[in-house]
Each structure stands twice: as C-alpha cells, then as structure tokens.
Structure 1
Amino acid sequence: MSGTSRTRTITVGTRGSALALAQTRLVVARLKEEWPETEFRIQTIQTHGDRNRESLDVAARGDKGLWVGEIERALAESRIDIAVHSLKDLPTEQPEGLEIASIPKRVDPRDVLIGKEGFKSLASLPKGARVGTSSARRRAFLKAYRPDLDVRDLRGNVDTRLAAVGTDTYDAVILAAAGLIRLDLRHRIDEFVDPAVLLPAPGQGALALETRSDDDLAVELAYAVHDRDTDDRTTAEREFLAGLGAGCVAPVGALANLKGGSLVLEGWVGSLDGGRVIRATIEGDAEEAADLGAQLAEDMLAQGGRELVEAAKV
C-alpha cells in the first residue's frame, strides 16, 4: 500500500435508501478487509429520483440518470472518491472522465415472488391474481407467461412494496432477489422465479464501483474487490442491452452464465403487453463477452426486435 493511501480518507458515495446503504456498507467492509490501513467513510447523496417521486414515471420510461446523475457529478467534482451503484441502474456509457473500476461478486440475479397466504408461487397463482411491479420488463414477462394475471403498477422502496402484499390491492409482488438478500430479508422470499420464465434485467444482482479515470489510488482500491466472472457475465448482458438501443424503455431481459471457459448468454425482448416475444441464446469464449452480447443484440434486432424496441419508445 502506498504512503498516500494511509493518509487519505476515501469517501464512498451512494444513495440514501436502506438498500443503497446496505450494499454500500457491504462494499466498504470488503474494501477494509483488503486495505485495513485506509480510512473509508460513506456519504449519502440525494438523487433527482429520490427528491421527486413524480419522476419515477420518467424512470419507468428509461431515464436511468435519475438515480446516478447527482452521484456522478459529486464524483467528477471530487466530493467523493468512489461511487457505489446498482449496476442495472447505471447507463451503459459512462460520462467522460469516469469509469467502472470494479464489479464485485454478484448476488443471485433472479427475481422473486412474495405473496400472501396461498399465493406462494407464480405458477399456482389463481386466475386474476393481482401482482405488483414497477418494471416494464417484469410486466411484459408476466403477461407473456400468465396473461390471466392482473399485473398492477407498484412503486416505492423495498419496504413499501413488501407492505403492499396482502392488502386490498395486491396479492403478490415481484422483486429482485439481490435487494432482499442484502437487506437480510431472504426469509420473506416465497419463490425464486426460474429464469426460463422471467429473465432478470441486464446486470441485476451486481454492483458497480465507479471512480474518476485519473484517480489511480481510488481505481486501485476499488479493483481489489473486482470479480472477473461477474465482470464477464454482466459485460455480455450490458452489451446486449446497449446493442438493442433499448435503455430500460423496452422490456428486455438477459442472463449470462459461465460453463468452463464458455459463456452462455440468453436474451429476451418483448412487446409491452407481452403479446410478442423474441428469445435467443448465444455461446462463445468468455473472453469475448462484449462481442457475444453485441452479436446477440444484432441477431435479435434482425428477428424483429427492432420493431419491438421502437414501439416501446412511442
């Protein structure tokens, strides 16, 4: 460790939600294990999406910057040294001067179902069951799989959505497994939804540590918790998303898995109502993760994905 790292306090920036703080504390604990002589402190930053709940409607149409813009500005202005993001919230292109320095080991990327008594699995939900989600992806997947379900909009933090279960409005909700796991709420999960039914969002379950490109110390510190396998998997998924040009507007799912030295990437794009879906898989060398993601996107656009993406933007 350099002498500079012993004297400089590293400020780690994050949103102030319970989940954002929980996952940032986990990251800082790992950083301290690798750099015990370095002092880290956490600084919360309120984003536009946090301040203006009405902007959630804009977020649903694909403006991921609502959750990261102020944090990246603080990073660029050297008010923080490392930013911790949920990778699925981070745009596929970084602002000039910033870079993703590290992607720690991923938590379970699947979606999960939490239901009231008697509503404990997606397949067994009765006809007309009221399922809450804020995601266009989940809504489209659910309508494709079970068009008989009453899929309803549900926004808010994890606690708000869990509290909705069993009310007069929702029989069950769909959330990301990773958030519940990081909040020590795994016991609330009734079913891990099979990716064959519901592919996760690209990058779901992974975190990203963003730094200034010219801050050698912060880059070195962050890279100590980097996980190569997670990087390969999420690179393929995010390149697939970027290649579609969909942002988070169109219902898009992707999941990459490693088998030996090979990477298998499955992608899905659908219409907003779930009436039409395109699903495809590509396999190749894990070292070519970015190219595999781009190639799968190109293939799916040629199969009709372009029309689905453009329709979702209207």
Structure 2
Amino acid sequence: MTKGSKRLRNPGPVGGYHFIIWFDRCLPASWFQGLLRFGVWIAFWLMPRQRAYSREYLRLALGHEPSNAEIFRHFLALSESLVAKLRIGRGQPVPEFHIVPNGQEEAFVELARSERPALFGTFHVGYSDLTGCMIGQFGRRVRMVRQRVGNAYDLTLLQRIFGEYVEFVWINEGESLLFALKSVAEDGVSLALQCDREEHGSRHQHFDFMGARRRFPVTIYHLAHLFRMPVVFSFGFPGEAGHVDVLCSRPFEPTGESKKADLQAGYLHFQEVLHQLEVELKKRPYMWFNFLPMNSEDAHAS
C-alpha cells in the first residue's frame, strides 16, 4: 500500500466494513436494516459537505429542492450498494444480471462474448463494480481501473471472488496504470473505466448533462483511437428479486483514419451515453453516488 493510499480513505470508522459484515451475519434482517439506517443517519448529520453535494445533484435529478428525507435516501442507497458487495465477498451467491432490452443489448452481448479486447466504461452508478465483474463472467480478462484508498475492503473481497478474470488497477499508482495500458497493447486484456469524475482523466470535454454543458473525462476515447479498441458503456441497477438490471450503450468503433475524426465520433457517442443515463437517473435519482461537486460547467456556454 502506498503512502497516497493511506491518506485517501472512504468515509466511516476504522474497521467499519468488518462491523457491517459481522452485524449482517449475526442479526435478524429487520434488526440489521434498522441498524444500517441508524448508522446512515449518523453519517448524514456528520458529513455536511457530502450532504450539500447530494442536495446539489438531487435538485437537478428530482427537479425540486430535495428534502432531508430525500438526501437521506441518497446516502442509504450508497450504503445498500456497499452491503450488496460485502455479502457477495463473504460468500453469498452472485446475483443474476439481466440486460435491459433497449435495442442495443445484442451488440453489447456480442462484443462482451467475443475475444476482442474492448474498453468498458461506466460511472459511479448503482452496482458499477459488480457490473465490471459481470463482464469478466463472459470469459474475458478485465482490468478494472479504480482509485486505491486505505480502506477499500469491499474491492479486496471482490477481487478474492472474481480474481480468476478480474484485476484492479489503481490510477494513483502510475506504474500500475502504465502496466495495464501496456497489457492492453500486448496481451489483449480489456479495461473497465469509470468516466464521470473530472479528476480521473487527463483529457476533458464539455457535454450536455443535467441542464448544463458539463466537463467530463474523455481519456477512454483517446485510448480507443490509440489501440483501435471499441468503447461500450454499461450501468448496473438493483432489480427485482435481487437481480441486477444492466443498461448498456451501443458500441463505438474507431475507424483509425484520423485521430480528429475518431475523437469527434467518440464524443458524439459519449453524448448519447449521457442522454441515456440522464433519462435513467430521472427514474432512479438515488443511484448516482456522486457526493462531490457537480461536474463543472462551461463558462462560455450560453
């Protein structure tokens, strides 16, 4: 573990993940759910910055000034997604993944089942980590690009379960990311990247999202041009009976004719993805776990 990973950590007490696992295993379901809600309520009041950022996002997603109860539901949704990962990590069955029919699912499945290396994009939405592991279940090796923090025990458990075909690459360890990119070029390994947070990319562009022109990282399309790899996005949401509903985009294929043409076509593809996601977030507003300032707006946009 690097010094940087020790400084960065997820919110919560030391050993919090282990406490959640213990209480979940030992308490009746109704008691555990009540205890989880109590813990989330404490976090809600002790995290004023995250509460303010949640309010900023929910104001746009809900279309009205969010109440404290609605902001609490946002906090609770994040905690429930964490519990889902911890349960799988301690041996509970992996949920079934249902790809939502939207006219693009066949192309997504065809690409996922192929042996062709690809770039799989997602956001910090719903069950994004489990969706990355789902891609590995198609029989392909995937390196999931994430930021290492000092208490990411949930990812440690997932790597233990899905380690046969999923490996995590930490973006705050530059040599690991360079090794991953080298593997893409030489070994045919696919990459899974989260593409919503501005600090997680070296190249950025502005796109229409949530009522404004907002800045997003677009490194994934530069990689697509460089390695002649397709790009496809998917988002996992909790469904009925414990299933995971997977919403997917159409694949983007770089032509390789020119970098400018590939990037322009890639940005149009990303705009489609953002429109698709925004429609879904209006239905499931608590599923984007963005407790940071909204992506910055283009000061020159009308």
Q: TM-score range by the shorter chain?
A: 0.3 to 0.5
Q: What is the TM-score when the length of structure 1 is the normalising length?
A: 0.31
More strand by share: 1
